Structure 1
Amino acid sequence: ADSRTSVSFYNTSQVSEFILMGFPGIHTWQHWLSLPLALLYLLALTANILILIIIKQEATLHQPMYYFLGILAVVDMGLATTIMPKILAILWFSAKAISLPECFAQMYVIHCFVGMESGIFVCMAIDRYVAICQPLRYPSIVTDSFVVKATVFMALRNSLATIPVPMLAAQRHYCSKNQIEHCLCSNLGVTSLSCDDRTINSIYQLFLAWTLMGSDLGLIFLSYALILHSVLKLNSAEAASKALSTCTSHLILILFFYTVVIVISITHSATMTLPLIPVLLNVLHNVIPPALNPMVYALKNKELRQGFYKILKLDNKGN
């Protein structure tokens, strides 16, 4: 009898896959969301590919500021592509099952890319700070090798610091529940299904958010405070408005990015009342910045706009 109970216990002891239910509370009509989401995804891919082409083709754009913009474009496409195909498969084909390793892999990649996006925002803020506050030293400080080193540092930082997230999630024991009320494998969404204590997962998630995102946000605000301080000291109104206009576009995107991160973490704690809100925010947070970033930068930046017109008018010139 003993061996039989252990066998039956073993059979129910670990789920073999998770079921991503999609958007909580609106399962019956959630497929209608696939159209705006698919369009946002296409927009994100097209806009970021365009940015990369413009930066590559225009010799005037071979500068650190645009290299960071190019890296941001790659990160954005990576982030959107990590989640969108699966979400669209859920909404269109009801392909809701996801294996545990796939789920943990997706969790890892999302954390990596979000951390990377945050890191690139820091690099861009530092780049603007040096350009505006130390213009004479800019060519010697922000060199091509600075761009490479900063990017490699950010990539290493985010890929190493986020390893514990999926590893800790994989160590939890998933015994009976396997339906995730979400359309992507979020750390807290997955670990809330475990039968054992998940305090360590929540603690590490908070630790990661505060150390990575918190330090990034601190550096960004410091850079912009110093920029603002030195811009207000400029005598020429034209120079001041030019400096501020490049910074406002950065700040709009940065504030959107971090506000949503904060809102998601707060609403996750209060999910019981309106579970749809954090899920929808989480998805939009991974698709809207990739679609918005290139547009805001292109609209605010004369050189990029000119490159854009050039590419669109290639046919008129006959080349």
Structure 2
Amino acid sequence: MSDSNMTYFTNPSTFILLGIPGLEWAHVWISIPFCIIYAIAFLGNFTIMFIVKTEPSLHEPMYYFLCMLAICDLGVSSSTVPKTLSIFWFNAREINFNACFTQMFFFHCFTVVESGVFVAMAFDRYVAICNPLRHSTILTNSVVAKIGLGVVIRGFMIVLPQPLLARQWPYCRTNVIPHTYCEHIAVVKLACANSNISSSFGLFQAFFVAGLDLFLIAVSYTQILRAIFRLPTKDAQIKTFVTCGSHLCAILVSYVPALFSYLSHRIGQNVPLYFHILIANVYLLVPPMLHPIIYGVRTKQIQDRLLQVIAHKGT
């Protein structure tokens, strides 16, 4: 067989991220709210971690998990947003082949770990409300550390096969990714081989993680609601339920945009591409910005410590 009849697959050294196709003319304007939201998320999550670290009364399981949530929020947004802004501001569209899959891994890993943190927080609320006298003996610092480590290892093990598998496909058709970051589906669609295994694994991963974690959260809150309704007075019921309000708000803020983004990508075939990409970026930006605001507004201990820090700096 002659060389002319043979096909050689060679992967590109770089991918080209287009940003938001169809809205290139608005990249600079879109970058303004993106940058503001990212700055608020960055400052807010670091503030939460600083307050918990410096306030001994906040050295409790709930706030340790809150710090883990803040780290995940920073990881999710910081693994993608700086590159997105460089595309918008400097037209820096190139990303190294290996760097693309590294970004894919960290983004998805932080997302899965964050989902696990929500389950841990739900378990903490379950123990605090259903077994309040045993809370400190069940959730010791050692147990909290083991739960945190388990959540991280789970995220690592679930996500690692995704970029490793995607990296094995030959990318010979084009190196242009119509997205602002190396999102899994956007990348594997470029493969010039049958990448159904990658697509199926990504689908399984999404349903397995979201389905399992939401089920565990639902079980925890079913038990919590049963315990609340057994309380003797309505005031006690309301007061106890309010303690879970921040966690429930944070869950909704995280899962609703993610579900909307996923459904618009899988079902909304007639939806413009730029809409898919904007929704995907909303999922990256809005929850990390809102989580510290939710906990800051609804948690009196955090409010009091923050006011002390501000007052001290003002003197």
TM-score above 0.5: yes
For residues 131-151 of structure 1, the C-alpha deviation after alignment (integer angstroms, 9 at most, x for no partner) is 011111111111111110011
Alignment pair present for 1:243 and 2:240:
yes
The corresponding residue for 1:281 is: 279
For residues 23-44 of structure 1, the C-alpha deviation after alignment (integer angstroms, 9 at most, x for no partner) is 1221121221111111111101
The corresponding residue for 1:69 is: 66
Counterpart-to-counterpart distance in 2, 1:132 and 1:308: 26
- Look up the SS of the partner of 2:247 in the other structure: helix
Counterparts of residues 24-173 of structure 1 (less than 5 Å):
24-173=21-170
- Aligned 8 A contact 2:14 2:94 in 1: yes
The one-letter code sitting in structure 1 at the alignment partner of 2:2 is D
Alignment pair present for 1:15 and 2:41:
no
- Aligned 8 A contact 1:13 1:176 in 2: no
Counterpart-to-counterpart distance in 2, 1:139 and 1:147: 11
The corresponding residue for 2:265 is: 268
- Aligned 8 A contact 1:231 1:240 in 2: yes
The corresponding residue for 1:2 is: 2
Alignment pair present for 1:298 and 2:296:
yes
Counterpart-to-counterpart distance in 1, 2:221 and 2:277: 31
Counterpart-to-counterpart distance in 1, 2:283 and 2:61: 26
Q: CA deviation at 1:56?
A: 1.2
- Aligned 8 A contact 1:25 1:276 in 2: yes
Counterpart-to-counterpart distance in 2, 1:127 and 1:240: 18
- Look up the SS of the partner of 1:98 in the other structure: strand
Moved more, 72-81 or 231-240: 231-240
Counterpart-to-counterpart distance in 2, 1:22 and 1:243: 46
Q: CA deviation at 1:14?
A: 3.0
Q: CA deviation at 1:281?
A: 1.6
For residues 221-271 of structure 1, the C-alpha deviation after alignment (integer angstroms, 9 at most, x for no partner) is 111121112112211223222221122221122123122222222222234
Q: CA deviation at 1:5?
A: 6.1
The one-letter code sitting in structure 1 at the alignment partner of 2:103 is Q
- Aligned 8 A contact 1:17 1:99 in 2: yes
- Aligned 8 A contact 1:165 1:201 in 2: yes
- Look up the SS of the partner of 2:22 in the other structure: coil
- Look up the SS of the partner of 1:136 in the other structure: helix
The corresponding residue for 1:309 is: 307
The one-letter code sitting in structure 1 at the alignment partner of 2:227 is S
- Aligned 8 A contact 1:271 1:278 in 2: no
Structure 2: gaps of 5 or more residues: none
Number of residue pairs the alignment of both structures matches: 314
Counterpart-to-counterpart distance in 1, 2:182 and 2:21: 14
- Look up the SS of the partner of 2:133 in the other structure: coil
- What is the TM-score normalised by the length of structure 2? 0.95
For residues 173-194 of structure 1, the C-alpha deviation after alignment (integer angstroms, 9 at most, x for no partner) is 2112221111010110001111
Alignment pair present for 1:185 and 2:150:
no
RMSD over equivalenced CA pairs, Å: 1.6
- Aligned 8 A contact 2:185 2:199 in 1: yes
Counterpart-to-counterpart distance in 2, 1:280 and 1:253: 21
The one-letter code sitting in structure 1 at the alignment partner of 2:147 is A
The one-letter code sitting in structure 1 at the alignment partner of 2:66 is L
Counterpart-to-counterpart distance in 1, 2:246 and 2:162: 32
The one-letter code sitting in structure 2 at the alignment partner of 1:207 is F
Q: CA deviation at 1:273?
A: 3.1
Counterpart-to-counterpart distance in 1, 2:155 and 2:227: 32
Counterpart-to-counterpart distance in 1, 2:10 and 2:57: 61
Counterpart-to-counterpart distance in 2, 1:272 and 1:94: 28
Report runs of 4+ in structure 1 exceeding 6 Å deviation.
none
Aligned-residue sequence identity (percent) comes to: 37
- What is the TM-score normalised by the length of structure 1? 0.94
